[in-house]
Structure 1
Amino acid sequence: MREESAEDLTALDAEQTNTAASVITREDVIVGAEQPIINIPLKEYHLGDITYFIKKGVEAIIDDVVTKRFATAELPSWNLLTRTNKNYTFVSFRLTVIWCIGCVLRYVILFPMRVALTCIGMIWLVCCTAILGYFPEGRFKRFLYWHISLITFRILSRAVSAIVTYHNRENRAKPGGICVANHTSPIDVAMLASDNCYALVGQTQGGFIGVIQTALNKAASHIWFERAEIKDRQAVAKRLREHVEDPTKLPILIFPEGTCINNTSVMQFKKGSFEVGGTIYPAAIKYDARFGDAFWNSSKQNYIHYLAMMMSSWAIVCDVWYLPPMHKRDDESSVEFANRVKSKIAEQGGLLDLNWDGLLKRSYVKREWKEQQQKDFSQRLKLT
């Protein structure tokens, strides 16, 4: 056991005040903050040295900081809407009546109206882009597409009763730039494209999303990749660079996380979009889950099922912050630049900044990540 003199304990108590910060400080003293656990002059272990490893092991079992980002976040209170896997539990007759009235309102009144709005928006998009495709390239065509795109995405946003508050609109992306944002669901595109016009980047899809991609591609220059082509980083970077260097084309919209996260954190940004050059326009999106959870768990729900859930919610309420433009410094790598942008987005949106790869949702942990953890642990055990 580590011996502490009475004078040391008295000094420690005098330094700490009766506040939340002092409680945290005392916990770090008891559990053990991240410091070298070996007393180098003595070169011997103490019983308290194992507390750090016990703490990490328990956290990995009961409160994994990574995998819970791929599931719907829990609400502090029931919103008469939350879908759970638990069986029905009777609470009170009054609450049951209120819930039944809400179901009638959402499924009998709101849902049909929202489906009708979605159909109107899709018909408008397909017809307008089909006609616009015959126009020659030029300023007039870009002018028409700008308004067609805004109207389309605003109609589709109304189809889920979106209530969006935009902050710092003077920082919106401009031609020759790249807008990057945290990713919660495909409707992130509608939230951003209702206020600005973008060139979209993504993998070629089928079904409902495929119809939208095909229609948009007829009227403007968007960047769609086949699955095999995405693996060729040089080809992807080349197409992005060519687009950014053309001042007549729309700013690019990219979600560097590469997958949907439950809007409680921002995970690792892929460095590809930060190697292209040009100005980066960060945007932070934060949803209010009390009225409807916008997160898409793509491993459990197809897109039509997800849309049905969105259309049967109370509303989709979110805030969008446009952050000041950012440029890569001469002394930083693409990875460092990506992390700097990510931290700014997380800070503005009130999200947790994580360095873990979001693709862990569908794949195993990479070998280099395991080796990094092993290296960190070994450094804490090193006697030299």
Structure 2
Amino acid sequence: MKRPVTVPRQESLMYPIVKNPFVHNLQFSTLDIVRIVFMSVTIAPVRLVSLAVLFMLAWLLAAISLANRTPEEKKKPLEGWRKSMMTPLIMLGRAVVFCTSFHSVKVKGQPATAEEAPLLIVGPHSSFFDGLVLFFCSTIPTVLSRKENSSIFVIGSLIEYTQPVLVKREDPNSRTNTVKEIHRRAHSEGKWPQIIIFPEGTCTNRSCLINFKPGAFYPGTAVQPVCIRYPNHFDTITWTWEGPGAFALLWYTLCQFHTKCEIEFLPVYTPSEEEKKDASLFAANVRAKMAEALGVPVTDHSYDDCRLMQKAAKLKLPKTVGLVEFMKLNKKLGLKFDAAKELLDKYFDIAKNSDGNITYEEFAKYLRLPKSDALEEVFSLYDRDGSGTIDFREYVIGLSLVSSPENTEDTIKFAFQLFDEDNKGYITKPELRNILHNAFNMDGLDSEALFDEVDVKEDGKICFEEFSQYAMKKPEYAKLFKTYHDAKTNGHQKQE
């Protein structure tokens, strides 16, 4: 197909450097398979039993230290003999790390105290193994946890010992209450333990740092960024939305002779007055520091992209269809998540018979139009990378920047008047057929099918209300009519 000249693109909406940070393809060599088989019948079972014993000992110490606390004590930081249990629990925690195959964890930098940095910002978050950071801080920090986790046998008592900030997802005020509690503890002048937070909110493959949620930055206090690296040739650590499951990764890791991990405590980051007033700016600047230290790019992917991936999978589309850098589209286009889900349903209606991308032919079929110069021009405006197909991200941006701005009341009125040749207040089948044939070379059968689709009242006439409702449902037409109108106007001007 002949392609029109590509229009200039907004740099802020170009494709991210890392297109999919939520996939982990674990490649097994013959040596890897042999090692896993050998370790599965020799060392791994011993390690698993050792882990069970260590967890039970840790649970026992945690349960003893939490026993018989009064309601008043539960509202205060641990003190006295209860707090003294922290040292043996740290030792048991490091023993757990050792038995999991992390025989030596390399620590860089100096962990700050709660007075120096009340919050620890850890990333990239790529695995449940990231929790090992807890045992290499100045003291065991507080964690954020779902309330349900506190009732899990063994694990619940260990979480409770950290005096967690509990998140109640069924509570509509949970987010607000969580931020308030973080703020209260962060401003306690070191009385409460540090709070450890993974601001990405979901696991990635460590190829980048995705969007940081601002919750940890609302208190406006100093934070210590903490970087995690797993410099292993065979990656049994990364737990993402596409890839091996949690149990498989745990077993593969137990079957390694040695697994490397590096923890780097970066210098404490003290926010400026501007950052204290703008949590998003604070979060972005801390992320930039961590990305620089890690040597990875940043993207505006977020947990909402994962939710869109799940939505795409339910529609039987490739999961990657949902990867749109949602936070960027939210900031630049004002796109809300519910609106994105509705657009994904609409996208599916067009692309359901393909590999997840819309072709020029499918675009024309959806609009019930034959190929034409005007349609080709509109398609090229959607196809931002010139690939010859439109992906979901391009579709969302195209609707927002190409079609919707043109789909105004004035444009709809103009288009209606274009069809309503005698200003009767309604459009007949011959009128629709005549314009569509002249503008887009559409044949009679296709125009009649389109007429029947718009004629909701089935009275043989299309009134303005029916026309407007259909135009709002398919804003792609607005740009087409605008293109046709401009071409027609330019043609008259040249003749004159």
Q: Do both share a fold (TM > 0.5)? A: yes
Task: Tell me how far 1:119 sits from its aligned partner.
Answer: 0.4
The separation in 2 between residues aligned to 1:56 and 1:178, in whole angstroms, is 31
Q: How does 1:207-246 map to 2 (within 5 A)?
A: 210-211=152-153, 213-229=155-171, 232-246=174-188
Whether contact under 8 Å (1:266, 1:352) holds in the other structure is yes
Q: Percent of pairs identical after alignment?
A: 18
> In structure 2, what is the equivalent of residue 331 of structure 1?
274
State the AA in 2 paired with 1:167. Answer: K
Task: Tell me how far 1:51 sits from its aligned partner.
Answer: 8.7
> In structure 2, what is the equivalent of residue 108 of structure 1?
41
Q: Does 1:318 align with 2:270?
A: no
Task: Tell me how far 1:239 sits from its aligned partner.
Answer: 1.4
> In structure 2, what is the equivalent of residue 368 of structure 1?
330
> In structure 1, what is the equivalent of residue 120 of structure 2?
179
**Of the two, which has the highest radius of gyration?**
2
> In structure 2, what is the equivalent of residue 354 of structure 1?
299
The separation in 2 between residues aligned to 1:291 and 1:65, in whole angstroms, is 24
State the AA in 2 paired with 1:259. Answer: T
Whether contact under 8 Å (1:284, 1:321) holds in the other structure is yes
The separation in 2 between residues aligned to 1:280 and 1:257, in whole angstroms, is 15
> In structure 1, what is the equivalent of residue 393 of structure 2?
none
Whether contact under 8 Å (1:263, 1:287) holds in the other structure is no
Q: How does 1:62-141 map to 2 (within 5 A)?
A: 65=17, 68-72=20-24, 82-83=27-28, 98=31, 101-134=34-67, 139-141=79-81
Whether contact under 8 Å (1:114, 1:160) holds in the other structure is yes
> In structure 2, what is the equivalent of residue 158 of structure 1?
98
Structure 2: gaps spanning 5 or more residues: 309-321, 335-396, 403-496
Task: Tell me how far 1:231 sits from its aligned partner.
Answer: 6.2
Q: TM-score, normalization: structure 2?
A: 0.54
Whether contact under 8 Å (1:281, 1:325) holds in the other structure is yes
The separation in 1 between residues aligned to 2:38 and 2:172, in whole angstroms, is 44
The separation in 2 between residues aligned to 1:276 and 1:56, in whole angstroms, is 29
State the AA in 1 paired with 2:121. Answer: V
Dislocated runs of 4+, deviation >4 Å: 64-67, 98-101, 135-138, 298-302, 364-367, 372-378
> In structure 1, what is the equivalent of residue 472 of structure 2?
none
State the AA in 1 paired with 2:181. Answer: R
Q: Does 1:250 align with 2:193?
A: yes
> In structure 2, what is the equivalent of residue 50 of structure 1?
6
Whether contact under 8 Å (2:36, 2:256) holds in the other structure is no
Bigger mean CA deviation after superposition, 367-376 or 322-331: 367-376
Task: Tell me how far 1:355 sits from its aligned partner.
Answer: 2.5
The separation in 1 between residues aligned to 2:172 and 2:209, in whole angstroms, is 22
> In structure 2, what is the equivalent of residue 284 of structure 1?
227
The DSSP-based 3-state class of the residue aligned with 2:201 is coil
Task: Tell me how far 1:347 sits from its aligned partner.
Answer: 1.0
The separation in 1 between residues aligned to 2:149 and 2:174, in whole angstroms, is 21
Whether contact under 8 Å (2:236, 2:249) holds in the other structure is no
State the AA in 2 paired with 1:368. Answer: N
State the AA in 1 paired with 2:195. Answer: I
Decide which of 240, 247, 250 is 1:297's aligned counterpart. Answer: 240
- RCO higher in structure (CA 8 A, sep ≥6): 1
Task: Tell me how far 1:161 sits from its aligned partner.
Answer: 1.1
Are residues 231 and 164 of structure 1, via their aligned partners in 2, closer, same or farther at CA, if it must alter by over 3 Å?
A: farther
Structure 1: gaps spanning 5 or more residues: 1-46, 75-81, 84-94, 379-384
Task: Tell me how far 1:243 sits from its aligned partner.
Answer: 2.0
Task: Tell me how far 1:56 sits from its aligned partner.
Answer: 12
State the AA in 2 paired with 1:185. Answer: S
Q: Does 1:203 align with 2:146?
A: yes
The separation in 2 between residues aligned to 1:212 and 1:258, in whole angstroms, is 24
> In structure 2, what is the equivalent of residue 41 of structure 1?
none
> How many residue pairs end up in the alignment?
306
State the AA in 2 paired with 1:227. Answer: R
More helix by share: 2
Whether contact under 8 Å (1:66, 1:356) holds in the other structure is no
Bigger mean CA deviation after superposition, 113-122 or 263-272: 113-122
The separation in 1 between residues aligned to 2:265 and 2:163, in whole angstroms, is 24
The DSSP-based 3-state class of the residue aligned with 2:230 is strand
The separation in 1 between residues aligned to 2:155 and 2:36, in whole angstroms, is 33
Are residues 49 and 257 of structure 1, via their aligned partners in 2, closer, same or farther at CA, if it must alter by over 3 Å?
A: same
Task: Tell me how far 1:112 sits from its aligned partner.
Answer: 1.1
Are residues 228 and 309 of structure 1, via their aligned partners in 2, closer, same or farther at CA, if it must alter by over 3 Å?
A: farther
Whether contact under 8 Å (1:291, 1:315) holds in the other structure is no
Q: TM-score, normalization: structure 1?
A: 0.69
Whether contact under 8 Å (1:261, 1:358) holds in the other structure is no
Task: Tell me how far 1:241 sits from its aligned partner.
Answer: 1.6
The DSSP-based 3-state class of the residue aligned with 1:70 is coil
Whether contact under 8 Å (1:130, 1:215) holds in the other structure is yes
State the AA in 2 paired with 1:71. Answer: V
